[in-house]
Structure 1
Amino acid sequence: MSKQTRSNRNKTKNKKSTGKRVLSILLLLVLLLTAAGGYTVWKVWSDLQSTTDEMYEDVSDRDEHTARQTKPVDVNKGEDPFSVLLLGIDSDGETVEHGRSDTMMLVTVNPNSNKTSILSIPRDTYTEIIGRGTKDKINHAHAFGKASMAMDSVQNLLDVPVDYYLSVNMESMQQFVDAVGGITVVPPLSFSQEQYQFVEGEPTHMDGSKALAYTRMRKKDPNGDYGRQFRQRQIIEGAMKSVASLDSIMNYQSILSTMGNTMKTNMSFEEMQDLFSNYRGAAKTIEQNQLSGNGTMLNGVYYEIIPDQELARVRNDLNNELEL
């Protein structure tokens, strides 16, 4: 065999060896990246579950006599409409364990019509506080008996099931809006609040601080507290649409990491997974509704009295949305 032939074979052999080494290195890198990716997903998932476990607070002490006889909601298949009571708690510090719910909204989500509705409930609504046997402002229910009493009282007032609740310290809404990357709303009137200016009809992108200021103004609004409730619904709507548009689990981690002690809910981790997976389409169409009444002084205390006709209107709307 000639030296030239042997040399050519050696070169070919070396090329094959080099090719094998490159392929081995690439496979090793793929394996490492896959392992690292798997660890990252596991870590994020673990953090998500830890956060939601911290947020979880059951409502097993609810008054069974107030519940309507309907089948329990099942969000696993993404077919059942459901309701969530949103409570903005006026409390000292960051906790939401106690305090009055100065913001109350009932959100209904229907995956069949792909629609979400947000109903504002005036905080001064005069109604029965279930579990105390007295009538008072509905926002006192949370102060008396936390989420369970608030859910029971709203359920009794509106005569529809209240499946879940989410309570939040209003200060933490600022962090939540920042976590979803801010929101854009169109102010219904021009006004200034703190260091911010808002112009009627002009789409305005807001970070958390600006959004909080936007919802706090009341005295300059010709519609008073109803105007404030409308702006609160705008913020909730904007936040829901922002969450629905997120695809990465990493984004959910940044959102949930803002919650912890500042939010409480009776949604389990698995139910949150189902909601994110099965109901996000319903957040694309959001309708706003308002329970309205008349201001009245009773024994020197201001209350909002809801007429029977108004209650019938809202109950009918909710029954249709929840397919009851």
Structure 2
Amino acid sequence: MENNAESSNKPIHRHHRHHRHHHHRRHRKFWRGFWIVIGVIIVVGLFVCGMIYKNLRDTTQNMYTPVAKTTKSNKGRTLDNLLNEKKPINILLLGTDTGAMGRHWKGRTDTIMMMSINPKTNSTSIVSIPRDSNAIFPDYPQYGVTKINSAYTLGGVSETIKTLDKYYSVPIDGYIMINMGGLKKAIDQVGGIDVTSPLTFNNMGYSFVKGQTYHMNGKKALAFAQLRHGDPRQDYGRQERDRLVIMALLKKSVSPSTLLNSSFLNSISSEMQTDLTMNQMYKIAMDYRKATNNLSQDHAQGVSKETQNPKFGTMEIEVVSREERQRVSDKIRTALELPHVKVAANKASYIMNR
């Protein structure tokens, strides 16, 4: 009986080994097939990511226009170093009132803002400089006292940066210049913006009531920002509305998902110039985006005066006092965690009042 049991158990034992062997073969085939599928997915994913990266790189290269920032305030500062160390940065925002911006086009900057972003305090300050501010340009003194928005006409973004440094003594770490057509497209691409109107007025077929919040597409936002007449604060009122639009757009656009959105970048690439690289924009979106949760705004206040320019004749100009420029300089340098410095005397004001 014992031998029969042993003999009867042997084939059962062999069958069990065969079953396990067959099971392991199927198991190995499954995992081999699984890793082949994963490998294909990774290869396809890398290819797609590579194409996306190439498209984004090509798009940002179309916008990329480096300029010289050789000013006293910029000495020893590079944007890459600041971003790597997550230090506060100051970005110049310029707006032109044109429908399209070609690389050889020269015009005036109707909007001049400095945006100071501090990732440590999670705060962003946007300060407007009046486009009609009095200035004598560092590289073009022969033009005498004229409006600061002509700095771009004569010497491009670089001259604008030099002029701002001359009168406000603050570093400019990068710049973004966009025309109104590009601004409209950017707003549409992010799905519109929410803005509370500081004024009751009608413009371009749209009505706005003071204190009421509106969801605006690009066209409505431009009507809101571009009111030319009817604002009791005149250009200062326009500056405030510009800032409100920019702040609302910042809250929605400064994110990795938006800056890696090829349709968003493609929509504005032909109407925007910047010296920010794709990597720099991505770092700002990753490490500085929380700073847009706490936005504040300000402007340099001037006094309207009439002056005679040897080349342009009689013009109305905004004279910004040395005290006011010092206040603005101190505010920006505080946001950038830099020591205060004394701003230069306003020689333009002296010449006008002689």
**TM-score exceeds 0.5:** yes
Call closer, same or farther: CA 1:42–1:249 in 2, change over 3 Å. farther
TM superposition shift of 1:153: 0.8
- In the alignment, which of 277, 294, 307 is matched to residue 285 of structure 1? 294
Call closer, same or farther: CA 1:159–1:247 in 2, change over 3 Å. closer
Indicate the residue corresponding to 2:101 in structure 1.
94
The answer on whether the counterparts of 2:101 and 2:272 sit within 8 Å (CA) in structure 1 is: no
Q: Per-residue CA shift, 1:147-199, capped at 9, x if unaligned?
A: 11111111111111122111111221001111222111111122222232223
3-state SS of 1:100 partner: coil
TM superposition shift of 1:258: 2.1
- In the alignment, which of 224, 234, 237 is matched to residue 227 of structure 1? 237
Q: How many residues align?
A: 319
Call closer, same or farther: CA 1:78–1:204 in 2, change over 3 Å. farther
Matches within 5 A, 1:239-254: 239-244=249-254, 246-248=255-257, 251-254=260-263
Indicate the residue corresponding to 1:147 in structure 2.
157
Structure 2 gap segments, 5+ residues each: 1-7, 309-313, 339-354
Call closer, same or farther: CA 1:49–1:69 in 2, change over 3 Å. closer
Matches within 5 A, 1:96-245: 97-133=105-141, 134-244=144-254
Indicate the residue corresponding to 1:302 in structure 2.
316
The one-letter code of the counterpart of 2:97 is D
**Alignment partners' CA distance in 2, 1:238 and 1:69:** 29
TM superposition shift of 1:296: 0.9
- In the alignment, which of 67, 72, 76 is matched to residue 71 of structure 1? 76
**Alignment partners' CA distance in 1, 2:256 and 2:276:** 21
- In the alignment, which of 29, 44, 47 is matched to residue 36 of structure 1? 44
Q: Does 1:267 align with 2:276?
A: yes
Q: Per-residue CA shift, 1:197-246, capped at 9, x if unaligned?
A: 223222211111111111111312222111111111011111111123x4
Indicate the residue corresponding to 1:318 in structure 2.
332
Call closer, same or farther: CA 1:78–1:206 in 2, change over 3 Å. farther
The answer on whether the counterparts of 1:85 and 1:165 sit within 8 Å (CA) in structure 2 is: yes
TM superposition shift of 1:251: 4.7
State the identity as a percent. Answer: 30
The one-letter code of the counterpart of 2:330 is N
Q: Report the more deviating stretch, 258-267 or 16-25.
A: 16-25
Q: Does 1:80 align with 2:93?
A: no
**Alignment partners' CA distance in 2, 1:21 and 1:205:** 57
**Alignment partners' CA distance in 1, 2:203 and 2:22:** 75
3-state SS of 1:129 partner: coil
TM superposition shift of 1:124: 0.5
Structure 1 gap segments, 5+ residues each: none
3-state SS of 1:267 partner: coil
Structure with bigger gyration radius: 2
**Alignment partners' CA distance in 2, 1:22 and 1:194:** 66
Q: Report the more deviating stretch, 227-236 or 26-35.
A: 26-35
TM superposition shift of 1:23: 5.7
Tell me how large the CA RMSD over aligned residues is.
2.7
**Alignment partners' CA distance in 2, 1:294 and 1:153:** 19
**Alignment partners' CA distance in 2, 1:11 and 1:191:** 84
